[in-house]
Amino acid sequence: MSWQDHKAFYSLPTDDVSATLETDSHAGLSSTEATHRLRVAGPNTLQVRKRRSALLRFLDQFNNPLIYVLLVSGTITILLPGHKVDAAVIFAVVILNAIIGFIQEARAEAAIEALSKLVKIRSTVVRDGQSRVVEAAELVPGDLVVLQSGDRVPADLRIIRRRELQIDESMLTGESFPVSKETAALPEDTVLADRKNMAFSGTLVTFGQGTGVVTATGNATELGNISSLIESAPSLTTPLLRQIGRFSVWLSWVIVGFAIIIFAISLLRDQSFVNTFLATVAFAVAAIPEGLPAALTIILAIGVTRMAKRHAVIRKLPAVETLGSTTVICTDKTGTLTKNEMTVTTVYAGDRQFSVTGTGYRPEGAVLLDNENIALEENSALRSCLHAGVLCNDSRLFERDGRWTVEGDPTEGALLTVAAKAGVDPGALRDAAAGLDVIPFESERQYMATLHRLPDGRHMVFMKGAVEKVLALCGKALRADGETAGIECNSLQQIADDLAARGLRVLAFAMREVPREQETLHPNDLDRDMIFVGYQAMIDPPRPEAVSAVTATQGAGIVVKMITGDHALTARSIAEQCGISTRGTPALSGAELAAIPQEELSDIIAKTNVFARVAPEQKLRIVEALQARREVVAMTGDGVNDAPALKQANIGIAMGLTGTEVARDAADMVLTDDNFATIEAAVDEGRGVYENLRKFILWTLPTNAGEGLLILVAIALGIAIPVLPVQILWINMATAVFIGMSLAFEIKEEGLMQRPARLPSEPVLTPDLVLRIAYVSVLMVIGAYILFQYELQQGLPIEEARTVVANVVVLVETAFLFNCRSLTRFVGQVGFFSNPWTIGGALTMIGLQLFFVYHPIMNRLFQTRPVDAFTWLEVALVALAVFVVVEIDKWIRRRIQSH
């Protein structure tokens, strides 16, 4: 078998690994062979996908059926004599929309580049029997790599030698604790998180030393596999954008169809080609909501600003709307629901069980007995247990930039924190109890022991380790009063089992005085009677605010599922504490998930809320299965292992403080405070943004429908069109910007988070709202034509009559704006002045319309004429009538619903 063929190196003994990879387990590869393999296997880097140029991304802004219609209309209009201004305005609107879309578009995905940065490191390799430092990119399968504490693993390695080697794999597997590495072969069906004889590219060595043989480089590594999953995951559009896309295509065909009919009818009536085409362009321009793309972008951008104030940074603009329609949140455990900071929650000492408050490494909290503070002087066993946790410890706890951090093993950091909560100063204790010797932790021994000289001159051994190993070395137990008694191993084992059943990691502690002349420590010295002093049980606990946030999210009709690479027992415990699952509900493991037939997968995933020991590709599979059930899925996470699922999800949510760069770049939204509770706030804001988008769409469509009807009626009756294309463009763009945009600042209505999650198939506009658009359009057309014909009958020029029609459309839209501030309630109920932007926008629009009507430049550009005050009164009465009819309609519907 060639060195390029085998994959499951974790299932081979170390000698077979070396033989298969054709390398020497001590001398490594020869330089010549390494050079040859580098040519064959390629550099140890990740392939980077070529990104679209800025020009292509700008041109993509024109890829919309409605834009095509406008471009064709503008192109032909510019060829018509005397209509250069009309064409220029059409093109200006199209270009403005493209510029806004280009500026606001989320930057191109950089997840692959971020992954590449993780492997741009140097590493120690043995070649030709000599150690040398090389760029990680030069590593090849078969290379012998030496790992030290603090090293970033440069490639996938099969461990062949190790000394107390521990590696933090949380970014890849979600495992809370550093993994102690072994060398023995494992079964071939061992899942990724349990492959303890492997070191994976990109993970971090936290303790010890080791030597491994490179088994995979570049895209062939587990990190590379994630890179491929990220690249293959499609970029999904949002429910609203899909509906807008379908509406655009439908409207384009409608416009083209009616335009052909209008053109044909006009030609049959022997009208001039110029007038015929002008009428056709007028209809096209009238029916297209030119301001909609820009308005949607700006409303979403305002939502981005609001969310940023609530610690949610939106990287991709449409994600704002998606939040409002999310039906399932798939959350990672480590670092998302929890802080990824180990915390001692229970201490057992002197026959008593103490609870510990506070979470994370910040030394704030207390050790309580029956909910009351306890003084260490009152319990000698508790004091000794905490002292053992500090002294039998190689780590350091410190504060940096307001954040408490552990240097070393997270488990040892938790032991330092709980001691500080009880009033012990770890630094002072270590200074007072000088360390003399240490027996480091080894996986075979499963304990660590240290020898210290206490301030009173006594020499004391302290031990911590696995429950079974420590109990086996103890002959006595320390009581609360400081006396010793016979040890009840079965009883103590049951206490430890009960703690472990709650998802806690339990460490046992013991001590023993030795002669003062003894200054060295050997394992044989511990084969005598140690004195059991207690247990410390820890977990990476849920954030208190995450528990309430999960409850609130579920109250909003959103299903919360936990997907983690951690152990099932730990996952289930955290899920129960957060309210994601009920007590006793089993977690589905990655191995069980892999065995489920494809046809049953969707139903099982829908019924399961906790997934444990899950591989990255399985996270992706879960998200895809939920999406196949037409769920809108939000995926949260912080590790590299989360990135493919983050990109596949309808909205990916990454952690900003503890999240990896890969996860942040694959996500649509980044939480700057790493707080699951922020998701609840973001969903609330997202629902508010969606409601404001609906209000804007409801507000803008009657303008287009009404303008289109004005043209169609004129064609049908064979009369002059009552409004010109250039005037329509003025109305559409000016009203959208100056009054429509004010709806983006509308305050959220009460009860948004008590409503059920919106179904992806649910239309933006309900039948009731469609009916409202229809009758507002008809009322607008009736009022406009009555005044248009009246002006002409008074002998006024057609330019003045058209100006009146333009005023009718603008004032009806201004009045209807206040109707749209609530879809169901009277504007007075939401507070007439609660959104000052609507007042300011309406006054600004009226001012601009006066400029449009009376200024000579505008008269020349838009072919308008001044009108008298009585005409304004007539126009205002039409607008008021529309406002009153809409409010009566809302009142009737409220009465019907209440009964």
Give me the torsion for CA of 257, 260, 264, 267, rounded to 10°: 150
Amino acid at 783: G
Written as six digits, the tokens of 170 are 């949380």
Question: How crowded is residue 16: how many other Cβ atoms within 10 Å of its Cβ?
Answer: 14
Q: What does the alpha-carbon distance between residue 830 and residue 688 come to, in Å, rounded to a whole number?
A: 14
Question: How crowded is residue 452: how many other Cβ atoms within 10 Å of its Cβ?
Answer: 22
Q: Minimal CA–CA distance to 199: which of 148, 132, 126, 133?
A: 148
Is 332 annotated in the active site? Answer: yes
**At CA 478, angle to CA 477 and CA 484, rounded to 5?**
80
Q: Minimal CA–CA distance to 304: which of 58, 105, 550, 108?
A: 105
Written as six digits, the tokens of 144 are 């012998």
Give me the torsion for CA of 408, 411, 416, 417, rounded to 10°: 120
**Cα separations (Å) of 751 from 510, 685, 732?**
56, 12, 33
Cite the beta strand spans of 322-478 per DSSP E: 328-331, 343-349, 352-356, 367-369, 372-373, 396-400, 403-407, 434-439, 447-453, 459-465, 474-478
**Cα separations (Å) of 847 from 852, 860, 894?**
9, 18, 35
Which position among 151, 156, 332, 674 bears the catalytic label? Answer: 332
Q: Is 29 helix (H, G, I), strand (E, B) or coil?
A: strand
Q: What does the alpha-carbon distance between residue 811 and residue 802 come to, in Å, rounded to a whole number?
A: 14
**301, 317 in Cβ contact below 8 A?**
yes
429 CB contacts (<8 Å, ≥6 apart)? 387, 390, 391, 419
Q: Is 412 helix (H, G, I), strand (E, B) or coil?
A: helix
Backbone Cα Rg of the chain: 35
Question: How crowded is residue 360: how many other Cβ atoms within 10 Å of its Cβ?
Answer: 21
Q: Up-side HSE of residue 278: CA atoms within 13 Å toward CB?
A: 20
Amino acid at 593: L
State the maximum Cα–Cα separation within the chain, in Å, rounded to a whole number.
121
Residue 534 DSSP symbol: E
Tally the residues of the chain: 899
Amino acid at 787: L
Written as six digits, the tokens of 309 are 């104030």
Amino acid at 777: S
Q: Residue written as tokens 């000088």?
A: 434
Active site residues: 332
